[in-house]
């Protein structure tokens, strides 16, 4: 019974992730001293890869703060 509940939970989470067009997040970019880097252009790239770090890209999103 426990395995069925875990399986259903994983399937529900996967379905929700697949249905989304991107994802939301919040972050604070800090410099090497730990101070927030205000008024600094930041470009972030998110990738979901299949199998390993060099596997095919399943999803990729590039974000720039304008």
Instruction: Look up the pTM and report it.
Output: 0.43
Q: Is residue 11 in some structural domain?
A: no
Distance in angstroms (rounded) separating the CA atoms of residues 47 and 62: 9
In a domain? residue 49: yes
Res 3: pLDDT: 79
Question: Which residues span the domain enclosing 47?
Answer: 23-66
Total structural domains within the chain: 1
More confident residue, 10 or 56: 56
The answer to the question of residue 35 being in a domain is: yes
pLDDT digits (tens, 9 = 90+) for 21-31: 666 777 888 88
58 falls within a domain? yes
Q: Is 31 inside any structural domain?
A: yes
Note whether 22 and 28 are within 8 A (CB).
no
- The Cα 34–Cα 26 span in angstroms is 17
Q: Give the confidence band of 19 by pLDDT, cuts at 50, 70, 90.
A: low
Burial class (CB in 10 A: 0-12, 13-18, 19+), 25: exposed
> For 23-61, how does the pLDDT look when each residue is reduced to its tens digit (9 = 90+)?
677 788 888 999 998 888 888 888 999 988 889 999 998
Residue 18 lies in a domain: no
């Amino acid at each position: 019974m426990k395995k069925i509940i875990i399986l259903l939970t994983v399937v529900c989470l996967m379905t929700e992730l697949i249905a989304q067009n991107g994802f939301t997040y919040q972050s604070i970019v800090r410099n090497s001293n730990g101070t927030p880097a205000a008024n600094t252009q930041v470009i972030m790239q998110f990738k979901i890869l299949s199998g390993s770090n060099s596997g095919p890209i399943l999803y990729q999103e590039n974000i720039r703060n304008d």
